Amino acid sequence: MNKKALEATSDELMGTPIWFAREVMKQEPYEWQEKVLWDVAMGDTPVALRAANGSGKTQCVAAPLILWHCAVFPDSQVVTTAGVYRQVKEQLWGCLRSHRDKLGPGWAINQTDLTAPNGSRALGFSTDDPGKFEGWHNENLFMICDEAKSIPDEIFMAIERCQPKRLLLMSSAGTTTGEFASAFSTRKKYYSKHTVTSYDCPHLGSEWIAGQIEKW
pLDDT digits (tens, 9 = 90+) for 16-45: 999 999 999 999 999 999 999 999 999 889
Average pLDDT, the chain: 87
Q: Quick one: pLDDT band at residue 208, thresholds 50, 70, 90?
A: low
Q: Find the range with the poorest average confidence among 68-72, 139-143, 197-201.
A: 197-201
Q: How much is the pLDDT for 13?
A: 66
Contact status, residue 58 vs residue 20, Cβ threshold 8 Å: no
Sheet holding 166-171, edge to edge: 108-109, 113-115, 121-124, 77-82, 141-146, 166-171, 47-51, 192-196
Instruction: Convert the pLDDT of each residue in 89-104 to its tens digit.
Output: 878 998 999 999 999 8
For residues 4-10, average pLDDT: 53
pTM: 0.88
- d(C-alpha 147, C-alpha 129), whole Å: 17
